[in-house]
Amino acid sequence: MGVRIGRALAAMMLCGALAIGLGACGSSNASDANGSANGSANSSQTSGDSSKKSEQSGKSDSDGSATTTDGSDSASTSSDASGSGDASASAAPVDITGTYEFSDFGKDCTKDCKITVTVKDGMISAVMSDDFGEYPYWYGTVDSASIAKTGKWTSKADPKSAQGRKVAKSEFGSEDSTKEFTYDAKAKSINFDLKFYVRVNHVKAKLVG
């Protein structure tokens, strides 16, 4: 009797152990099976999505190539337009070589007052004169390209040249390092402000030769 009970207990313990082991193996196999099933399902879904994406990318690529072609056409058109715009915008340098004079000083002058402006070799000089003598006022650069674009330029004084040194020694020579000049192509005149002590005369020297 005791032997039978011992065998029964041993059998029960063995079955319990096997049940636990099989349960673990069963759950592992089940999860593996589920994983395989899910993996295959996901894989098929992924491959399906990939095929859809490849189809969509194919469509977008074809559409994109068409868009790119249109863009390149518009870019070339805009490039041609900008090129023609630049060509029309660029103007040839203006040659204002010559001698200009201004003598309308009104009451500021007693006798024979005049300003002679000479443009030569890319430089501009302005000399005041009256019945007592001549007084160099300015000697500096001429920017023909700026004149062509805006009708005016900023002249830079040249104090190291012979004429520049005369301006520096002159009683009425300008002490400015730069001076603004305007060229009136219609009137053929060079305009600038002449600072004379505390007064400013608006000079409009017209071409005389």
Mind listing the pLDDT tens digit for each residue in 157-195? 999 999 999 999 999 999 999 999 999 999 999 999 988
Q: Indicate the Cα dihedral angle 192, 198, 199, 200, nearest 10°.
A: 20
Provide the whole-model pTM: 0.57
* CATH fold of the domain at 98-207: Lipocalin (2.40.128)
Q: Are 121 and 131 in contact (CB under 8 A)?
A: no
Q: Are 126 and 101 in contact (CB under 8 A)?
A: no
Q: Report whether pLDDT(82) > 70.
A: no
Residue 121 to residues 96, 97, 144, 205, Cα–Cα distance (Å): 10, 8, 11, 19
Question: Letter for the amino acid at 185?
Answer: A
Region 111-132: mean pLDDT is: 94
pLDDT of the residue at 191: 98
Q: Report whether pLDDT(64) > 90.
A: no
**Cβ neighbours for 176, distance < 8 A, ≥ 6 positions apart:** 157
Residue 173 to residues 1, 19, 34, 47, 134, Cα–Cα distance (Å): 143, 118, 102, 89, 11
Identify the weakest region by mean pLDDT among 72-81, 139-148, 199-208.
Answer: 72-81
